[in-house]
A = this chain, B = another copy of it.
Amino acid sequence: MSTKDPRSAQEKVELLQGTLDLLILRTLVLGRAHGHAIAQAIERNSDDVLQVEQGSLYPALHRLIKRGWISAEEGTSENNRRAKFYRLTAKGRKQLALETTKWDKFARAIAGVLRPADQESES
């Protein structure tokens, strides 16, 4: 996953594995979805800031299945094609709550450093 940035490919923000996992779990809260739809939902809900590449998405989905946080099943997509659908498990739902708390804590910690109430430093 990366953020869209017209300036240069080097400016791409690589996402932590764990962060992509969290976004996938969150996206599956409202129901099963196929891989492409998961990527699209993440892109749309981030106002197209995050871009989910297939090379990151499918390894992440396999990782989540292995951990028992999501399950995969065959189904038929809206345009009547066979597709693999992913669904959140009960274990995945618990993990999502944990991971969300962890992300919130992490983001608050970074914000605390970027905008400290007071900061000492030798000058």
Contacts and interface: CB of A to CB of B under 8 A. Distances in A.
A50 B113 contact: yes
A16 to B, nearest CB: 6
Nearest to A87: B123
Nearest to A108: B49
A70 B27 CA distance: 40
Q: How many copies altogether?
A: 2
Given A18-B13, A114-B100, A114-B103, A49 B121 contact: no
Given A31-B123, A41-B119, A107-B107, 4 more contacts: A13-B106, A26-B114, A33-B122, A46-B112
A9 interface: no
A37 interface: yes
